[in-house]
Amino acid sequence: MGVNGRWLEPLGSRLHVALHKFRRRRFAAHLERAAPARAPHPRRISTTFKSFEDVQKLGKSQIEAATAFAAAVWRGVQQIAAEPSTYAKRSIEDGSAATTRLMGVTNLDGAVKVQAEYARTTLAGMMAQAGRMNALVMAVGKDVAEPFRAVMPIGFGETRSR
């Protein structure tokens, strides 16, 4: 065995070189056995180009759907923004009318009746406004989803048949 195992070193390097040559020869033989390159089949090329045209059509429809989506979102935001201002205007008018009636009352019973009527109409108005906002948001959501229903029917209530 020699000092520090050095007499094994030349044998190891020779084995390494021999293994490398063997692998190189085996890989060269593999390359020779490999089939020669063939020209692509014309039908495959036409299928590829047809697929590319399909991808272009899909991209175009996606862009059109995104544009319609943006327009629907903008219309919906305008409608949703206009509704609270209309409600606030009505609420201020109702409050000022109730205050005017309250100023014209001469006794406590009349003041309680005016206040109770104002509270009842205000609560009914708030509930009606909440219903209108809910219906408006639902309608806007449907309008916003509409452009994508034609492009992607899956996920919008329609199921895929197998």
pLDDT in tens, 58-117: 778 778 888 888 888 899 889 888 898 999 999 999 999 999 999 999 999 999 999 999
Kindly report the CA angle at 120 between 119 and 123, in degrees rounded to 5? Answer: 80
In the numeric block, the tokens 């009352």 are attached to 105
Tell me the residue type at 135. Answer: A
17 CB burial (10 A radius; 0-12, 13-18, 19+): exposed
Confidence band for 56, pLDDT divided at 50, 70 and 90: confident
pLDDT for position 1: 46
- Label residue 162 by pLDDT band (50, 70, 90): very low
Q: What percent of the chain has pLDDT over 90?
A: 33
Please report the pLDDT score of residue 138 as a whole number.
92
Mind giving me the DSSP string for the chain?
Answer: --GGGGGGHHHHHHHHHHHHHHHHHHHHHHHHHSPPP-PPPHHHHHHHHHHHHHHHHHHHHHHHHHHHHHHHHHHHHHHHHHHHHHHHHHHHHHHHHHHHHHHT--SHHHHHHHHHHHHHHHHHHHHHHHHHHHHHHHHHHHHHHHHHHHH--BTTTB----
